[in-house]
């Protein structure tokens, strides 16, 4: 039995869906409230266009159809067939073979023809367990399963771009070298590219177009695994997860439960539409889809069966595939009730929080969708960390568009108040039990400019996407530093590199969970394309043959993650206090350029662009971690007085963003002395 979530709580009503085995018999169970007939088609193993056995399913309770037979065995190739009413909300067509929503393996015969394969779990995890990295120690690395390794010449060509390559020593060595703890994979649930893209000779590279929530996308498996069959594909992915775990690296999945690849009313039928269109998808009485995703359809999370499908998928990937957490795409859609309104206490989230299988899983939401009332940043329930778009925009504005404005008009648009709020953990956005760890901080993500492009382009350049540069956001808060795109001007190139260092250090020195986009740690460019969702090429792949400058970028990134790892004051578990200092609560104070505590006038002045954050962390063993972070947000040099009120007398400079690489010598200063700040720079001091 499994749980069905209702408005009144949790009740046990449904048996396990999909194919299961007991002894020498197999069972098939499928959900459909509106079908009038359902059949399991067992296909000829060598000629899948032919049906070997047709097994009718019988309708049971809660819209569950089921059958059992000795013909249902591991390894069978199968499909579903459904018929039902022909109303405006229905999509039945008994001529179409349908994918089982609970299939654990799906094979594509052609653009329109798919079949499922029944598999059993037989994988040896060799005693390797999940790393369970504490939230405050997590550094998330958002990567594409194919794009991360496809361009790496040090990986055998037959493995590059595959699940197997994720487990290759080259990949694992790189992740450990740069100090990330958790790799967040763009969607690997089986997906289908939109016909529009296929007609242009492109594909949905990012994969946000799922057709099955249990099956790994087979294209990311090696050719050897694909030839051996679906079970080999699953086991190749499990091997990658196991080896990443063996090396202390978590695997988080970006999951797209908000819509499916079947599209809108004119879309193709592969699975859900043909089984129960009126209950899987949100529609009005005329059969028009209520789309809050911008992708043609939205799954109906007012339906308990859709909630259960999602919970069952999460449980499968958590237990059987051993992943460590999930990032929920367009999560507002997942929390819409029967009125299509956002409900932070939605049964889906209640179900996740109530299930002990998820107690150690990292649960991250993208807290918006494109529907009415879709922007819900800060409104998700306790226990869920949220992508913090306000963090992204505030940091970009301070280091980029404010600097651009000052060049144009002589005045900055904002001072340091908003940036300080982001550095301190965005308590104005996330203020629940997770404290600052309720915020996933990021400067870039898969959708948008890379870090290098963010400091090199004022506008997007998406012409290769085939949409006349209409796609992608036009509001990027980017700054090209005086020239659009690549340039040989050494002063512009140096300014861009320093801006990128400032952005990266701000991210890694902020309270909250930092997330970096793969390739940013080594200066990757997409030539100004801020929406490379359809570009499966070197434009999107991570670069592995690095220039000296790119190597320096990577060295700096690794050094900054090392500082974060070594200094608990950079990764607090709770919001700081001006007065209190105790284990679990850091003392945090802000000083102006003259070494005095910031005043209200300082905070309110848009031309006060220099601030120093002093953080004191009680390690709980009689020792303390004390750091002074100095931020200077103007392009002119300045002198800062090291704070007068700090009792400790020695300030040791451990990083300066004005330097291309980490410092090679120790530089110490006494309290109350002046230190020189290079234009638009950051400095970090250890205080003792």
Active site residue 33: no
Contact 677, 610 (CB under 8 A): yes
Q: Describe the crossing of helices 548-566 and 490-508 by its angle, rounded to 10 degrees.
A: 20
Round to whole Å and give the CA distance between 350 and 1. 19
Q: Residues 262, 329, 402, 418: which is the catalytic one?
A: 329
Q: 366 an active-site residue?
A: yes
- CA angle (501 as vertex; 498, 503 as ends), nearest 5: 110
The answer to whether the CB of 175 falls within 8 A of the CB of 141 is yes
Using an 8 Å Cβ cutoff, are 117 and 103 in contact? yes
Cβ atoms of residues 289 and 283 within 8 Å: yes
* Rounded Cα distance, 37 and 437, in Å: 49
Using alpha carbons only, how large is the chain's radius of gyration in Å? Answer: 27
CB count within 10 Å of CB 556 equals 22
> How far is it, in rounded angstroms, from Cα 610 to Cα 237?
48
Length of the chain measured in residues: 688
**Bridge partners for 612 per DSSP:** 591, 630
> Could you tell me how many helices (H) and strands (E) the chain has, helices first?
15, 27
Structure tokens at 658: 């004005």
CA–CA distances in Å: residue 36 to residues 57, 64, 85, 663: 10, 12, 7, 72
Sign of the CA dihedral running 124, 128, 129, 135: negative
The two tokens of residue 591 are 């000083």
Q: How many CB atoms within 10 Å of residue 162? A: 28
Catalytic residue among 184, 254, 366, 618: 366
SS (H, E, C) 139-204: CEEEECCCCCCCCCCCCCCCCCCCHHHHCCHHHHHHHHHHCCCEEEECCCECECCCHHHHHCCCCC
Contacts 24+ apart (CB under 8 A), 404-410: 404/479, 406/634, 406/635, 407/635
Given the DSSP bridges, would you call strands 140-143 and 513-517 parallel, antiparallel or unpaired?
parallel
Q: How far is CA 94 from CA 35, 41, 83, 97, 198, in A?
A: 11, 12, 5, 8, 27
Spell out the residues 6+ positions from residue 364 whose beta carbon is closer than 8 angstroms to its own. 252, 325, 326, 327, 328, 384, 385, 386, 387, 440
**Which of 260, 296, 303, 258 is closest to 278 using CA atoms?**
303
Do residues 324 and 250 lie in contact, with contact meaning Cβ atoms separated by under 8 Å?
yes
Q: In the numeric block, which tokens belong to residue 451?
A: 């870090």
Q: Which residue's structure tokens are 């197999």?
A: 26
Whole-number Cα distances in Å, 540 to 200, 445, 454: 18, 13, 15
Residue 378, classified by CB atoms within 10 Å of its CB into exposed (0-12), middle (13-18) or buried (19+), is: middle
Cα–Cα distance, 518 to 540 (Å, whole number):
10
How is residue 236 annotated by DSSP?
A: H
d(CA 521, CA 44): 50
Catalytic residue positions, numbered:
329, 366
């Amino acid at each position: 039995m499994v749980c069905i979530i209702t408005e009144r709580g949790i009740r046990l009503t449904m048996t396990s869906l999909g194919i299961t085995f007991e002894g020498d018999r197999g069972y098939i169970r499928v959900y459909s409230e509106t079908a009038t007939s359902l059949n399991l088609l067992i296909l000829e193993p060598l000629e899948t266009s032919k049906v070997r056995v047709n097994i009718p399913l019988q309708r049971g309770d809660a819209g569950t159809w089921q059958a059992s037979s000795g013909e249902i065995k591991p390894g069978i190739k199968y499909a579903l067939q459904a018929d039902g009413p022909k109303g405006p909300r229905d999509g039945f067509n008994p001529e179409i073979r349908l994918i089982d929503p609970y299939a654990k393996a799906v094979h594509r015969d052609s653009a329109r023809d798919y079949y499922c394969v029944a598999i059993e779990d037989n994988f040896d995890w060799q005693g390797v367990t999940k790393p369970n990295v504490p939230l405050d120690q997590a550094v998330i690395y958002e990567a594409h399963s194919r794009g991360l390794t496809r361009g790496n010449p040090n990986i055998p060509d037959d493995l590059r771009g595959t699940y197997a390559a994720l487990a290759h020593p080259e990949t694992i060595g790189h992740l450990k070298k740069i100090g990330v703890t958790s790799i967040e994979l763009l969607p690997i649930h089986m997906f289908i590219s939109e016909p529009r893209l296929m007609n242009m000779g492109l594909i949905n590279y990012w994969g946000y177009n799922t057709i099955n929530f249990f099956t790994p996308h087979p294209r990311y498996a090696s050719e050897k695994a694909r030839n051996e069959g679906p079970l080999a594909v699953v086991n190749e992915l499990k091997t990658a997860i196991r080896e990443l775990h063996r090396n202390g690296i978590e695997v988080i999945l970006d999951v797209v439960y908000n819509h499916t690849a079947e599209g809108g009313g004119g879309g193709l039928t592969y699975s859900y539409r043909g089984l129960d269109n009126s209950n899987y998808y949100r529609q009005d009485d005329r059969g028009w889809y209520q789309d809050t995703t911008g992708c043609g359809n939205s799954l109906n999370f007012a339906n308990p069966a859709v909630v259960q499908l999602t919970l069952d998928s999460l449980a499968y990937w958590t237990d059987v595939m051993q992943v460590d957490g999930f990032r929920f795409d367009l999560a507002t859609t997942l929390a819409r009730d029967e009125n299509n309104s956002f409900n932070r206490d939605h049964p889906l989230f209640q179900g996740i929080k109530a299930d002990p299988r998820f107690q150690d899983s990292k649960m991250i939401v993208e807290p918006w969708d494109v529907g009415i009332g879709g922007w819900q940043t800060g409104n998700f329930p306790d226990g869920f960390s949220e992508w913090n778009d306000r963090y992204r925009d505030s940091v970009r504005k301070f280091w980029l568009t404010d600097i651009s404005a000052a060049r144009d008009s002589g005045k900055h648009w904002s001072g340091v108040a908003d940036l300080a709020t982001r550095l301190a953990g965005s308590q104005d956005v996330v203020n629940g039990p997770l404290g600052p760890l309720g915020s996933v901080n990021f400067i870039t993500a898969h959708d948008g400019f890379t870090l290098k492009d963010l400091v090199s382009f004022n506008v997007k350049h998406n012409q290769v996407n085939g949409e006349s540069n209409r796609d992608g956001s036009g509001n990027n808060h980017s700054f090209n530093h005086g020239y659009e795109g690549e340039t040989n001007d050494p002063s512009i190139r140096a300014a861009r590199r320093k801006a990128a260092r400032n952005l990266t250090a701000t991210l890694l020195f902020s309270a909250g969970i930092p997330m970096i986009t793969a390739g940013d740690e080594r200066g990757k460019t997409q030539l100004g394309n801020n929406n490379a969702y359809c570009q499966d090429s070197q434009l999107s792949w991570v670069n592995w043959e690095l220039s000296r400058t790119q190597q320096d970028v990577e060295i700096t990134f690794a050094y900054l993650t090392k500082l974060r790892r070594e200094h608990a004051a950079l990764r607090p578990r709770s919001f700081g206090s001006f007065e209190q200092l105790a284990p679990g609560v850091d003392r945090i104070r802000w000083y102006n350029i003259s070494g005095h505590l910031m005043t209200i006038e300082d905070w309110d002045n848009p031309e006060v662009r220099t601030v120093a954050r002093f953080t004191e962390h009680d390690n709980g063993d009689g020792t303390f971690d004390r750091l002074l972070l100095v931020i200077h947000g103007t392009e002119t040099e300045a002198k800062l007085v090291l704070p007068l009120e700090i009792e400790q007398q020695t300030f040791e400079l451990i990083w300066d963003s004005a330097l291309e690489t980490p410092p090679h010598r120790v530089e110490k200063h006494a309290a109350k002395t002046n230190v020189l700040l290079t234009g638009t720079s950051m400095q970090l001091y250890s205080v003792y």
